[in-house]
Amino acid sequence: MSAVSLRQQQPAITALAELARTCPDLPAASLRTDQFKPGEVIVQLDSVADFEAWREGLGLAPDAVDLTTYRTAPGSGQMELRTTVTGVPVHVWVAMSQLPLGVAS
């Protein structure tokens, strides 16, 4: 049995509910909170367009985005951003099999 209970995940669940209430038109995503980081929400998106919609919906500037390139798969990487909702850390990311033009790998 996990030492972490649903009680520790309640703030993250509340943050997800707040996102659904305040940003209902954001693209659907894989939403996660888990026993390893019970106080964090992880949002995984399927496309760069969806990622950009979330960035804009959360009111974050483009320079809030971090781009990581994968050395083991040249030309690929991920975009991510971190923010807070109701005081809970929210990590939003998307993997990219092909980096946007002009981005060196």
8-63 pLDDT, tens per residue? 999 999 999 999 999 999 999 999 998 899 999 999 999 999 999 999 999 999 99
Residue extents of the structural domains in the chain: 6-96
Find tokens 């998307």 and name the residue: 94
Q: What is the pLDDT of residue 105?
A: 44
Q: What is the pLDDT of residue 77?
A: 84
Secondary element (H or E) of residue 94: strand 88-96
Q: What is the pLDDT of residue 68?
A: 84
Residue 86, sorted as left (phi over 0), alpha (psi -120 to 50) or beta, turns out to be left
Q: Which contacts qualify for 4-10: CB closer than 8 Å, 24 or more apart?
A: 4/35, 4/38, 8/38, 8/39, 9/33, 9/35, 9/38, 9/39
